[in-house]
Amino acid sequence: MAEPLKIALAGLGTVGAGVIRLIETNASLIARRAGRPIVVSAVSARDRDKDRGIDISGYAWEDDMTAMAARDDVDVVVELVGGADGPALTLARNAIAHGKSLVTANKAMIAHHGLELAALTEKARVALKFEAAVAGGIPVIKGLREGAAANAIDRLYGILNGTCNFILSTMEDTGRDFADVLSEAQAKGYAEADPTFDVEGTDAAHKLAILSAIAFGTRIDFASVDTAGITRIQAADIAQADALGYVIRLIGMAEVDSNEGADRLFQRVQPHLVPFDHPLAHVDGATNAVVAEGNFSGRLLFQGAGAGDGPTASAVVADLIDIARGDLGGEAGAPFSIQTDEMEAMAPAATGHRLGRAYVRFMVADRPGVLAEITAAMRDAGVSIESLIQKGRAEAGGEVLVALVTHEGPESAVSEALRLLEGSSGLTAQPLVMQILGH
């Protein structure tokens, strides 16, 4: 059997410990599939003596993780430290500079610095792989970059954040409110102590920006992802959606918009109403799912566990097996499917002309005339209403919920209607708009 592939592992949190556990548990299987063993040469983390449930005494320890990049007994550096910048980025640059391949699960770093790193690896003719950065154990980077490589991708969308999906599907199952379910998710370890990155959509936006670049050959543009989270969704919204035949899911969606003369990149993370009979409506709990619509393949769906140490380790080690097999992603590299110098810088698309149906929810004062005001604004903005529900009557002096679903029309019309209603004393809160996912 050929020489082992020797790796250095930076970061021994749950994912790092999972990678070591996987490499040890499945060692003989991995060696047979990769054509040679994968062995850990060195590890580094903040605290050497922390109990991680694994024995690291057999691996060289480096206090300074960047030192691992220079070791002769290392072919691949595995970066599991996290963070867009700082030590992770320093290590990544150093590893490539020393001619090592780089495997990472760091979506923030790839979303912000992926093109720089890819250009470096293309020049150094080493591999840069980040399957674990998007959708945990689901091989969706490979699915898009290789499996769907023959296709022009018309549209890409999916459920990219397991925490949000857990919260939304639990709200759906239990009728409980957001804050309540978030606390439970935190207690169970499905949500971080500071859940902002997840519940505000940032994490999903990182992943969407990475997938867009691969699917459309565009330069990563995380900053332009139009991002909304799930914090304003109420139990009542979920109940209304259900009555209308929908579930609510946080959807990341991207496509190339050619309606404005030049190609522009549309990227959005927003809660959507998903019809019961759509495959994404049945994606529950912390599961992720990605749909890619190719011009020859038709609709492809990739689904699985979006996070957790086992699934993430599965993706990290799949990347290592590719490298051990000598499949570096093209002889000249190209972590994003095409070479970085051929990736197109595409301006962000305007969204006003996009056609769709929307769910709009108002919290209104429980007094006469408010409904007339809303419907008049809709009429004046040219929004055609398909259905409208005013939910019961509030406790004395409280607010009531008015939810409506529009017929298909431009997004700008709904925005215009909300502009007309700005400052109305009848509205007790900012209206919430969610698009309805088409088939």
Positions touching a copy of itself (CB under 8 A) are 2, 18, 22, 25-26, 29-30, 32-35, 131, 137-139, 142-143, 146-152, 217, 277, 279, 282, 289, 294-305, 308, 310-311, 313-318, 320-322, 325-332, 334, 337-339, 342
* Residue 6 Cα to chain centre, angstroms: 30
CB of 178: closest distance to a copy of itself in angstroms? Answer: 24
Of 6, 100, 129, 207, catalytic:
207
Q: Tell me how far apart the alpha carbons of residues 67 and 139 are, in angstroms, rounded to a whole number.
A: 31
Dihedral angle over CA of 199, 200, 206, 207, nearest 10: 40
Nearer to a copy of itself, 151 or 428 (CB): 151
Q: Tell me how far apart the alpha carbons of residues 216 and 257 are, in angstroms, rounded to a whole number.
A: 11
Contact 362, 374 (CB under 8 A): yes
φ/ψ region of 397 (left if φ > 0, alpha if ψ in -120 to 50, else beta) reads left
| Amino acid at residue number 71 | R
Q: Could you tell me whether strands 128-129 and 226-227 are parallel, antiparallel, or unpaired per DSSP bridges?
A: unpaired
CB of 23: closest distance to a copy of itself in angstroms? Answer: 8
**DSSP secondary structure letters along 156-178:** EEEE--HHHHHHHHHHHHH---H
CB of 137: closest distance to a copy of itself in angstroms? Answer: 4
Nearer to a copy of itself, 321 or 350 (CB): 321
Phi, psi of 363 (to 5 degrees): -105, 125
Nearer to a copy of itself, 142 or 249 (CB): 142
Closest listed residue to residue 138, CA positions, set 72, 207, 86: 207
Nearer to a copy of itself, 20 or 413 (CB): 20
- The residues with which 389 forms a beta bridge, in sequence order, are 403
Nearer to a copy of itself, 72 or 277 (CB): 277
CB of 333: closest distance to a copy of itself in angstroms? Answer: 9
Q: Is 207 designated active site?
A: yes
CB atoms near residue 32 (< 10 Å): 12
Nearer to a copy of itself, 2 or 376 (CB): 2
Nearer to a copy of itself, 346 or 403 (CB): 346
DSSP run (H or E) holding 110: helix 107-124
Q: Tell me how far apart the alpha carbons of residues 81 and 83 are, in angstroms, rounded to a whole number.
A: 7
CB of 300: closest distance to a copy of itself in angstroms? Answer: 4
Contact 44, 73 (CB under 8 A): no
> CA-based angle 236:237:241, to the nearest 5?
115
Looking up tokens 């020797």 gives 6
Q: Record the tokens describing residue 156, joined without a space.
A: 């890409």
| Amino acid at residue number 431 | P
DSSP run (H or E) holding 189: none
Q: How many CA atoms lie within 13 A of 148 on its CB side?
A: 32
CB of 45: closest distance to a copy of itself in angstroms? Answer: 21
Phi, psi of 337 (to 5 degrees): 85, -50
Q: Tell me how far apart the alpha carbons of residues 128 and 403 are, in angstroms, rounded to a whole number.
A: 47
Nearer to a copy of itself, 86 or 438 (CB): 438
Return the active site residues.
Answer: 207
